[in-house]
C-alpha cells in the first residue's frame, strides 16, 4: 500500500492528484480497467463490497480469496503484473447481516474482515454505520466508531499472521446508501464540516481505546457526501462552492483525504474538481457497467441490421425475459407499470441490470452475439451509426473492430475521464471558490 500512502502525501503536499477505485465484478470491466491503467503506467485499484463478496459468497458467489483469484486470472490473461493490482474491500462491516442482533452480525463481520485481509486485500473500508436488529436508528457515532475499531483489531491480527504490506483504512460512510439514491435528489445535503470532524474525532478516540494509536496514520480516507448522487434518470453534479468548508476541514488532517462514493456519471470537470477539493479517492461502479450495457445494446442493434449474419442472438429480449422471470434484483427499485419497469430495466442509471450478466441464458445469448460479430465484422457504417466513439477509435487504429475490444473501449472511455481527473487537473470553478 506504499503507492496509496505516497499518493496521499503528494496530495497533502499540494498536488491535486488522486486515484479512482473500480468497484465491479464484471470481467470485461476489470480487464478494461487493467488495460487502461497499464497504458498509462499506473496500478489499478479493484474493490468489492461486503454484499458482492463475503464468506458466504455474496451475490457474486465468491469468497474474498475466490475474488482475488478471479481478478488475478484476468490480470494474467491481460498481461498486467499482479503486484500492480491493489485490492480493496468496501463497506466491510455488518452490512450483509443487519437483520441479526448486533453481536451476531459483528461476529460475522469479524470473519469477513479476517478473510479479506488474509486473501491480500489491503485497502479496507471499515463501515459499521448501519443499525442491526435491536440497535437504535441511527446508530450513535461512538458505537459506530467502537465497532470499526473492533474490526480493525481483527484486520491487524490477520495481517500480522498473513504477512505482506500493512493495510490502510478508510472510515465513515456516505449518505444516502450506495447504489443510487432513493429519495428526492434536490434535497441532497453535503456533509457538514462539524459532522466530518466528529466522525474523525470519535474514530480516533476508539482506535486509541483499542490500542491502535500506531495504526491511525494508516487511516488514509474519510467517506463523506460531497453533494454528488444519481437516481434512475437524474444526476446531481458536484458544485465545489457547496463543499468549500468541508474541503478545508480535511486540510488539517495530515494523513487523510476524502473518499467520494457515487461519483458515477459526473462530468470530467466535476471529477477534476472533486480531486482538487481533496476528494482524492473516487469510487465508480454502476457507471462502468452502464457503459458496458450501452455497448452491448448497440452491438445487438448492429447484429439485427446486418444482412445474412445467420441466426441472431436475440440478446436484448433474452436479457429482459430473464429479468422479468427473476425480478429479485430490480423489483424494489423499479416501480410502476410494466412498460415503465421494462424501460428502467434497460436504461436506469442505477443499472440493476448488472446483477444479471452472469445468468447462463444471458451468457449464452451474449456468446452468440459475439460469435456472430466475430465471424462477420460490423461494417464501419453501422459502427458510425450505433457506436460513433468506437468508430473513431477503429478508424484511428486504437481499437480493433472486434466485439470484445469494442465493449472494453466503451468502458475505457469512462475510465479515462477518471484517470485524467486524478492526474492533477483542477477546474476554474474550484479556483474561484
Which grid coordinates are listed for 190? 453535503
**pLDDT band at residue 184 under the 50/70/90 scheme:** low
When pLDDT is cut at 50, 70 and 90, the band that residue 307 belongs to is confident
Q: What is the pLDDT of residue 431?
A: 36
Q: What mean pLDDT do residues 215-240 have?
A: 97
Domains of the chain, start order: 2-287+416-431 (3.20.20.70), 289-410 (1.10.400.20)
Strand 235-236 versus strand 229-230 pairing type: antiparallel
Q: Rounded CA gap, 395 and 37, in Å?
A: 23
pLDDT digits (tens, 9 = 90+) for 15-57: 999 999 999 999 999 999 999 999 999 999 999 999 999 999 9
Residue 428 has pLDDT above 60, yes or no: no
Global pTM value: 0.94
| Residue 49, strand partner residues | 90
Count of residues making up the chain: 433
| % of the chain surpassing 70 pLDDT | 94
Residue 260: the pLDDT is 97
Nearest to 174 by CA among 222, 208, 131, 233: 222
Per-residue pLDDT, averaged over 93-111, amounts to 97
For 370-423, write each residue's pLDDT tens digit: 999 999 999 999 999 999 999 999 999 999 999 999 999 999 999 999 999 999
**Once rounded to an integer, what is the mean pLDDT over residues 329-358?**
95
Q: How far apart are CA 80 and CA 33, in angstroms?
A: 11
When pLDDT is averaged across residues 301-323 and rounded to a whole number, the result is: 91
pLDDT at 182 over 60: no
Largest CA-CA distance found in the chain, in angstroms, rounded: 71
Three-state SS string over 302-364 comes to: HHHHCCCCCCCCCHHHHHHHHHHHCHHHCCCCCCCCHHHHHHHHHHCCCCHHHHHCCCHHHHH
Average pLDDT over all residues of the chain: 94
Residue 181 has a pLDDT of: 47
- Each residue's pLDDT tens digit, 262-275: 999 999 999 999 99
Question: How far is 322 from 250, CA to CA, in rounded Å?
Answer: 46
What contacts 215, CB < 8 A, 6 or more positions away? 152, 156, 169, 207
Helix (H) or strand (E) holding 143: helix 141-162
Amino acid at each position: 500500500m506504499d503507492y496509496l500512502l505516497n499518493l496521499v502525501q503528494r496530495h497533502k503536499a499540494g498536488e491535486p492528484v488522486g486515484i479512482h477505485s473500480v468497484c465491479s465484478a464484471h470481467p470485461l470491466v476489470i480487464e478494461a480497467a487493467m488495460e487502461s491503467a497499464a497504458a498509462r503506467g499506473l496500478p489499478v485499484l479493484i474493490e468489492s463490497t461486503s454484499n458482492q463478496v463475503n464468506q458466504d459468497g455474496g451475490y457474486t458467489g465468491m469468497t474474498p480469496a475466490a475474488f482475488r483469484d478471479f481478478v488475478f486470472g484476468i490480470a494474467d490473461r491481460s498481461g498486467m503484473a499482479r503486484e500492480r493490482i491493489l485490492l480493496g474491500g468496501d463497506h466491510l462491516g455488518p452490512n450483509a447481516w443487519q437483520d441479526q442482533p448486533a453481536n451476531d452480525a459483528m461476529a460475522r463481520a469479524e470473519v469477513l474482515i479476517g478473510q479479506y485481509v488474509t486473501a491480500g486485500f489491503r485497502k479496507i473500508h471499515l463501515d459499521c454505520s448501519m443499525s442491526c436488529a435491536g440497535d437504535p436508528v441511527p446508530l450513535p457515532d461512538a458505537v459506530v466508531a467502537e465497532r470499526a475499531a473492533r474490526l480493525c483489531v481483527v484486520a491487524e491480527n490477520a495481517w500480522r499472521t498473513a504477512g505482506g504490506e500493512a493495510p490502510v483504512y478508510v472510515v465513515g460512510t456516505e449518505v444516502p446508501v450506495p447504489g443510487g439514491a432513493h429519495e428526492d435528489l434536490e434535497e441532497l445535503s453535503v456533509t457538514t464540516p462539524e459532522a466530518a470532524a466528529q466522525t474523525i474525532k470519535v474514530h480516533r478516540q476508539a482506535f486509541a481505546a483499542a490500542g491502535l494509536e500506531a495504526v491511525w496514520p494508516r487511516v488514509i480516507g474519510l467517506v463523506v457526501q460531497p453533494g454528488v448522487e444519481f437516481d434512475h434518470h437524474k444526476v446531481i453534479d458536484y458544485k465545489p462552492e457547496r463543499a468549500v468548508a468541508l474541503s478545508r476541514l480535511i486540510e488539517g488532517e495530515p494523513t487523510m483525504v476524502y473518499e467520494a462514493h457515487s461519483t458515477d456519471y459526473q462530468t470530467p470537470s466535476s471529477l477534476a474538481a472533486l480531486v482538487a477539493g481533496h476528494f482524492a479517492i473516487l469510487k465508480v461502479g454502476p457507471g462502468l457497467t452502464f457503459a458496458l450495457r450501452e455497448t452491448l445494446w448497440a452491438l445487438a442493434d448492429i447484429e439485427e441490421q446486418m444482412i445474412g449474419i445467420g441466426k441472431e442472438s436475440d440478446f436484448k429480449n433474452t436479457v429482459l425475459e430473464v429479468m422479468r422471470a427473476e425480478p429479485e434484483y430490480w423489483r424494489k427499485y423499479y416501480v410502476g407499470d410494466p412498460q415503465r419497469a421494462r424501460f428502467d430495466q434497460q436504461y436506469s442509471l442505477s443499472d440493476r441490470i448488472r446483477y444479471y450478466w452472469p445468468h447462463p441464458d444471458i451468457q449464452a445469448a451474449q456468446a452468440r452475439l459475439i460469435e456472430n460479430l466475430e465471424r462477420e465484422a460490423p461494417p464501419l457504417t453501422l459502427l458510425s451509426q450505433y457506436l460513433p466513439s468506437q468508430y473513431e477509435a477503429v478508424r484511428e487504429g486504437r481499437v480493433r473492430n472486434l466485439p470484445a475490444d469494442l465493449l472494453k473501449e466503451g468502458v475505457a472511455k469512462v475510465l479515462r475521464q477518471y484517470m485524467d481527473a486524478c492526474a492533477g487537473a483542477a477546474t476554474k470553478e474550484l479556483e474561484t471558490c
